[in-house]
Amino acid sequence: LSPTDKSLEFDRDFRIRHYAGDVAYSVVGFIDKNKDTLFQDFKRLLYNSSNPVLKGMWPEGKLRITEVTKRPLTAATIFKNSMISLVENLASKEPYYVRCIKPNDVKSPLLFEPERCRHQVEYLGLLENVRVRRAGFAYRQTYPRFLQRYKMISEFTWPNHDLPSDKDAVKKLLQGCKFDHDVAYGKTKVFIRTPRTLFSLEEQRAEMVKRIVVFLQKVIM
């Protein structure tokens, strides 16, 4: 609430020093967003007041109890129902979360502040997430999708395989590349432990794509 801070408008804005960064708020609209609708019995009480000023402030209090069949929802109930709906919606989907890092605080597309980014990486727990991920299996993919991307690496899977299943084809491909020690095979997905294996697969794929393109050019020419 420092009056000397020109980024905050006096008597309107305030800033909370959050562990992941400072967050500024404005009090404009706080009451309107969080006020509860009064129950009809309270309005009726004020309408029946002997004070004419109070009576005139609550004309809706003249409605009988039989004319108001339902109490209005409170702000807390509306918020709770909103959260329940959000959780149910998320539970019915397969969400993927993308962590976004702000390169600067002025929303400039050409400004990168290393200290600002380092602060976010540290306090968002990104390093811990990477360590946990690398301790397990960093990459996981369904067998058909894996074959679609890397089948050109092996003679047993290119252009198509005659093995009993896509799982067997993936096993044959990885055994041929001598990566079998770094993977695990699930019912529907293949799991690769270290990024080094994935990088090697990508390099071999890129090399084979070049050779395939050259071959197609020779055939067409």
Residue ranges covered by each domain of the chain: 97-135, 137-220
Give pTM, 2 decimals: 0.44
Q: For the domain bounded by 137-220, which CATH number is listed?
A: 3.30.70.1590
DSSP-derived secondary structure for 36-56:
PPPPHHHHHHHHT-S-HHHHH
Averaged pLDDT score across all residues of the chain: 83
pLDDT band at 85 (very low <50, low <70, confident <90, very high): very high
Report which listed range, 18-27, 29-38, 100-109, is most confident.
Answer: 100-109
Q: Parallel, antiparallel, or unpaired for β 13-18 and 21-26?
A: antiparallel
113-135 tens-digit pLDDT? 998 888 888 888 788 777 777 67
Q: For residues 8 and 24, is the Cβ–Cβ distance under 8 A?
A: yes
Give 183-193 pLDDT, tens digit per residue: 888 888 988 88
